[in-house]
Structure 1
Amino acid sequence: MADGGSHQVSRLSSSASAPPCVLVFSGSDPSGGAGLQADITAIASLDAHPMSVVTVLTVQDNQHVFGVHPVAADLVRHQAQVLVDRIEIAAVKLGIVGNRANADVIAAIIRDLRVRQPDLPVVFDPVLANGAGDALASEDPIAALAPLFALATVITPNRIEANRLCGDKINSDQHPDIQAQQLMARGCQHVLLKGGHGPELNHVLNRWYTAGQQRSWEWPRLPGEFHGSGCTLAAALAALLARGWSMEQAIDAAQTYCQQTLASSYAIADGQRIPNRTLPFLQQTKESS
């Protein structure tokens, strides 16, 4: 007869090996392709710990959004406050917020965190619509996001989002430098302009801008359409910044990770494919270095 007392499972204690925690504000996607579900998987796969605050309940599949229901601002605040009161936050990732009231609450929480962590990285993916163009806010999304730009360390708009944020007269295909300067004038330190919706047929051109520096990356354009690719990239970037990577290193590696998730994507139905975010990316990186 086994002696249960001699085989007790020892409780693991908190230690320096615990993964850094990323606080995520975004909407829930029942399809699992985008939003919080995408963020959680991507962040965890890059060896950080995701903590999710639901800002919006959506009704959507892998192709279209049928309903957007913002969570009450007080509930958004309560979800986040109990976490930040107890747990050290290594990075923040922002996705859809739903309305201005939620954005104001999130901005206040970030400001409070920055009192004790002035260099806390905040990755802001200013999502205005899904890949099919369906709205993801209950009111004017640009006005709703306004309080968050000055608090962002880096923003990651795609071509369509950048054009809407800057006004369609300044097109990212013709004036990406001007667009980046306009976006940084809102207070963020870095801008990553994503080219997935650009006119190039065979490649995707992403551009990173910061004060006095810029860099571009060209990636092969993969066939098909993808659900949650922008969430994947921004979440990966937040995870790597939480792990202490420099901005340039994190942007470079996050793009590589995102490209790999798209290349190994899968279809759960007709329409947009789901990025495979469960790849052992960091282990591959270590083995190849």
Structure 2
Amino acid sequence: MRPCVLVFAGLDPSGGAGLSADLQAVAGQRAHALTVCTALTVQDNDRVYGVQPVDAGMVLRQAQALAGKCAISAVKIGITGSAANALAIAEVIMRLRERRPDLPVVLDPVLASGHGDVLSRDDAVRALAPLLPLATLITPNGPEAQALSDATRPDAQAHALRARGCRHVLITGGHAGGNDVLNRWYGPAAPPPPATALEGADAQAAGLLGEWRWERLAGEFHGSGCTLAAAIAGQLALGVPTAVALENAQLYTYHALRDAYAIAPGQRIPLR
């Protein structure tokens, strides 16, 4: 039997992000995705034109049917679609953790599309509030980390997010400039930061555990954040340590972006 990842995300008709991306990325780790639809969207590989949240009761029923039959080894959360859906997802996680207190939960805090199109009926930052204390790992990009923390420096952003209950924070650098993408991992029990890390007490207080540098690839990609978070969830479902899961998932995502293909002009689709 393959381990199962319970996925909460929206349906992207282009097949590049959301449930489609999560299903493929989880399968790429040799785990199985159980997909709960939180929202229907109108979008192509570039833009989001509309979002219709699924009723929170239906989200809950989808998850309950799956959790009643399948053993859940990890949870991955993408867009919730609404604040009511976030509460329903939180309820599911709390029930699952009654049986498995250490259940990994990966939260991809998608606040908007790559072009800034809103992906939630309610204020996205407020809607995520009940999920932050339940997250084993949160994977914001730079703009998302700033919006969720009201801080500009990565160490301060991570400190604020961990203060809200997130055990581990992976701040990705895809939206920053430069020849490399720098991803920073923060968490509990941090060792002294290396000489190349952020300076001194701020990084130590934030819990800087590691950094990865990846060559910045040319072009833009549809569903890169979904791919990374889902791959991490798939790795954690296999039972590997967090550091190994982060390393493996980032390498998988880098290869998926490197080999991305086009379906139309604009953002390419990662080869998951």
Q: Which amino acid aligns with 1:250?
A: A
Structure 1 unpaired stretches of 5+: 1-17, 278-289
State the TM-score, normalizing by the size of structure 1: 0.87
Say whether residues 1:204 and 2:169 are aligned partners. Answer: no
Question: Structure 1, residues 78-121: CA drift from partner, whole Å, max 9, x if none?
Answer: 10001111111000000000111000000001000001100000
Instruction: Describe how 1:1-289 pairs up with structure 2 within 5 A.
Output: 18-167=1-150, 170-171=151-152, 175-199=153-177, 201-213=178-190, 214-277=209-272
Q: Which amino acid aligns with 2:268?
A: R
Partner SS, residue 90 of structure 1:
strand
Question: Structure 1, residues 206-237: CA drift from partner, whole Å, max 9, x if none?
Answer: 00000132100000000000000000000000
Kindly state the Cα deviation for residue 23 of structure 1 after the two structures are TM-superposed.
0.3
CA distance in 1, matches of 2:59, 2:186: 32
CA distance in 2, matches of 1:77, 1:151: 17
Larger Rg belongs to: 1
Kindly state the Cα deviation for residue 139 of structure 1 after the two structures are TM-superposed.
1.4
Question: Structure 1, residues 102-146: CA drift from partner, whole Å, max 9, x if none?
Answer: 000000010000011000000000000111111100110001111
Partner SS, residue 115 of structure 1:
helix
CA distance in 2, matches of 1:181, 1:252: 22
State the TM-score, normalizing by the size of structure 2: 0.92
Structure 2 unpaired stretches of 5+: 191-208
Structure 1 vs Structure 2: percent identity of aligned residues?
A: 57
